[in-house]
Amino acid sequence: MSSEQILEVEIPEGIEVTLTEDSSLIVKGPLGEVRKRFNDPRAALSKGETSIVIRSRSQRKKSAAMVNTYRAHLRNMFQGVNQGFTYEMQIVYSHFPMRVNVKGGEVLIQNFLGERSPRKATIFEGVDVKVQNERVILKGIDKEKVGQSAANIERATKIKRKDPRVFQDGIYIVGGAR
C-alpha cells in the first residue's frame, strides 16, 4: 500500500479561485470562468493563499490516482481561463460534396454520402465553432466541453454498413487541444 498523498497546485497569477461549500471550484481568469464540482469521496480539496491543496482520504492506490486526476483537472482549468483550448477538424469527402454549417447549438452536416436529411451534432455552451473551407475549428475555455463537442461532430459522420477502406468520408479531429 502507498502512503497518504498530498499535492499542492500553485494558482497562477491573474487567476482567482473560489472553493464553495458543495466542493465546487470556480476558476476566473482573463478569458472567463470555469466551474467544476469535485465530490469524489477518495480525495479532498482545500484552498490556501496561493495554492490548492489536494489530499487523499485514504492510503489506497485509487485515492492517490484520484489526487493526480484532480491535479490534471486543475491544470486544465487554469490553462483554459488563461489561453483557452482549440481543436481542429478536417472535412473529408470523395463521393458527395458535403456542406457544414453552424446553426444555434448544432452543427448541420448536409449531403453526407448523398443523404437527404442533414446529420446534426450538438455543440456545448461556451464553445465557438467556425467552418473555414475544409476545416472546422472549435474554441473554448472548458477542455471537456470543447473536446466533447469535437467528438460529437466526428461521431455524427460515422459510416455504418459500408466498407471503411472505400468510404472514408467524414469530419475528423486532426489537431488536439492546444
Any bridge partners for residue 56, and if so which? 43
Cβ contacts of 84 within 8 Å, gap of 6 or more = 31, 139, 140, 141
- Kindly report the CA angle at 86 between 40 and 156, in degrees rounded to 5? 80
The pLDDT, as a whole number, for residue 23 is 86
What is the residue-level pLDDT of the chain in tens, covering all 178 positions? 446 788 899 999 999 999 998 889 999 999 999 999 998 888 889 898 899 999 887 778 888 889 999 999 999 999 999 999 999 999 999 878 999 999 989 999 999 989 999 999 999 999 999 999 999 999 999 999 999 999 999 999 998 888 878 888 999 999 777 7
| Residues 70, 45 contacting (CB under 8 angstroms) | yes
- Structural domains of the chain in order of their starting residue, each with its CATH number: 6-82 (3.90.930.12), 85-175 (3.90.930.12)
Look at residues 56, 54, 48, 46 and name the one whose alpha carbon lies nearest to residue 21.
Answer: 46
Helical packing angle, 61-82 and 143-156, nearest 10°? 90
- Residues 144, 145, 146, 152: what is their CA dihedral angle, to the nearest 10 degrees? 110
